[in-house]
Amino acid sequence: VRTLDPPVAVAAARDGDRRALARLISAVEGRGDSARQIGRLLVPFTGHAHVVGITGAPGVGKSTTTSALIDGWRKQGRTVGVIAVDPSSPFTGGALLGDRVRMSDHSTDEGTFIRSMAARGQLGGLAAATPAAVRVLDACGFDLVVVETVGVGQSEIDIVRCADTVLILQAPGMGDRVQTAKAGLLEIGDVFAVNKSDRPGAAATNRELKSMVDSRPMAAGDWRPPVVAIVAVEATGIAELAEALEAHREFSLASGSLTARRLDRARSEILGLAAGGFQEAVSERAQLLAHLSEQVLAGRLDPDDAAHQVLTDVGVRTR
Ligand SMILES: Nc1nc2c(ncn2[C@@H]2O[C@H](COP(=O)(O)OP(=O)(O)OP(=O)(O)O)[C@@H](O)[C@H]2O)c(=O)[nH]1
Ligand SMILES: [Mg+2]
């Protein structure tokens, strides 16, 4: 394996070299030494892409919808990067392979880049890796960056939060309504779509979803999330959906909520990384911790004073 030369790889990727782009994403995912250097080189070029998060229950049609949206965006001459995240999978298998096949008509297109990401066993890793990968695509000039993830738990919600616009998909069928509410998806959606509107019960699902969205607590001047009916397999309603996503982008730009959201995101990303670094620093002090624990057990040291000693050793100043 050739070692990655960050400045060379960054220049190449920004110049359209797909292999360099793929290697940059792998590097930032791995969080190795070069990851920080890559981040530093790329950050001046970030902030231009419209980051769209797509989530919903397994099989609801996320990949089909993404693919149909890509078709529309490409016809407008816009470039699209996709990160398909599967937090439940320890490796890139099953569903993601299906995604690849379904999106394969885009794989030869210069203006589209699709990347799969799986958990590979590291807890909390994806939540850090996804925004880093999004930044790589953003800095490499993609007009849109789509993050697709299965909406079943808190980690998916954390992942999809790195988006400027969150699209929640539903399909007609029992239990979906409850699932959406329970998973906390209702709160985080900026745009909702009822896919498989060719199926029985679609109108009812649409009505229910609308009333749920409308009963969300709202202040004057807030964005009112639209509910769009689509049939992704036929690309029906996809143009309206793309318009709704764009309208949310324009609204959040004009109202300042995009800046607020991005500030919030940067803040929690910094905090997450700092907390990770702190934990690493503490775990490197196993001997000190063992020693302090014994002191506490022997009644010679108060746990609060012990914690103070750890903080001092790590270099955190406390009162
Ligand atoms: N009838 C109908 N079927 C659809 C529609 N959109 C997608 N499907 C089908 O639903 C199935 C799942 O679609 P996907 O796009 O793979 O769904 P997904 O949400 O990405 O699935 P996972 O990534 O596995 O969670 C496929 O068999 C699609 O052909 C639609 O509008 N109508
Ligand atoms: Mg999928």
Per-residue CA distances from 206 to 42, 101, 160, 233 (Å): 42, 30, 23, 18
CA of 145 to the centre of ligand 1 (A): 21
Residue 181: pLDDT band by 50, 70, 90 thresholds?
low
Q: Give pLDDT, residue 139.
A: 98
pLDDT greater at residue 167 or residue 219: 167
Residue 54: pLDDT band by 50, 70, 90 thresholds?
very high
Residue 110's closest CA among 69, 54, 70?
70
CA of 246 to the centre of ligand 1 (A): 23
Q: Give pLDDT, residue 101.
A: 46
Q: Give pLDDT, residue 152.
A: 64
Residue of 99, 233, 234 to mutate, ligand 1, most atoms within 8 A of C-beta: 233
Instruction: Decide if 296 contacts 303 (C-beta within 8 A).
Output: yes
pLDDT greater at residue 125 or residue 101: 125
Token duo for residue 16: 């359209």
Query: Is the predicted pLDDT of residue 162 greater than 70, yes or no?
Result: yes
CA of 41 to the centre of ligand 2 (A): 32
Closest Cα to atom 2, ligand 1: which residue? 196
CA of 87 to the centre of ligand 2 (A): 12
The percentage of residues in the chain with a pLDDT greater than 90, rounded to a whole number, is 61
CA of 86 to the centre of ligand 2 (A): 9
Rounded Cα–Cα distance for residues 97 and 305 (Å)? 53
Q: Give pLDDT, residue 177.
A: 60
DSSP the chain: -PPP-HHHHHHHHHTT-HHHHHHHHHHHHHT-HHHHHHHHHHGGG-S-SEEEEEEESTTSSHHHHHHHHHHHHHHTT--EEEEEEETT-SSS-HHHHHHHHHTGGGTT-TTEEEEEEE-TT-TTHHHHHHHHHHHHHHHTT-SEEEEEEE-SSHHHHHHHTT-SEEEEEE-SSTTHHHHHHHTTHHHH-SEEEE--TTSTTHHHHHHHHHHHHHTS---TT-----EEE-BGGGTBTHHHHHHHHHHHHHHHHHHSHHHHHHHHHHHHHHHHHHHHHHHHHHHTTHHHHHHHHHHHHTTSS-HHHHHHHHHHHHT----
Q: Give pLDDT, residue 59.
A: 87
Q: Ligand 1: residues whose CB is within 6 Å?
A: 56, 58-64, 95, 98-99, 150, 195-196, 198-199, 231-233
Query: Is the predicted pLDDT of residue 198 greater than 50, yes or no?
Result: yes
Top-ranked range on mean pLDDT: pick from 182-191, 204-213, 214-223:
204-213
Instruction: Decide if 135 contacts 168 (C-beta within 8 A).
Output: no
Closest Cα to atom 1, ligand 1: which residue? 196
Q: Give pLDDT, residue 43.
A: 96
Q: Give pLDDT, residue 191.
A: 97
Query: Is the predicted pLDDT of residue 133 greater than 80, yes or no?
Result: yes
Q: Give pLDDT, residue 122.
A: 43
Whole-number mean pLDDT of the chain? 86
Beta bridge partners of 115: 83
- Which range, of 2-16, 168-182, 187-201, averages the lowest pLDDT? 168-182
CB neighbour list of residue 214: distance below 8 Å, 6 or more residues apart: 224
CB neighbour list of residue 318: distance below 8 Å, 6 or more residues apart: 308, 311, 312
The pLDDT tens digits of the residues spanning 97-113 come to 445 445 556 666 789 99
Q: Give pLDDT, residue 151.
A: 65
- Which range, of 13-22, 23-32, 224-233, averages the lowest pLDDT? 23-32
Q: Give pLDDT, residue 240.
A: 98
Residue of 64, 70, 89, 147 to mutate, ligand 1, most atoms within 8 A of C-beta: 64
- What is the Rg, in whole angstroms, of the alpha carbon atoms belonging to the chain? 22
Residue 121: pLDDT band by 50, 70, 90 thresholds?
very low
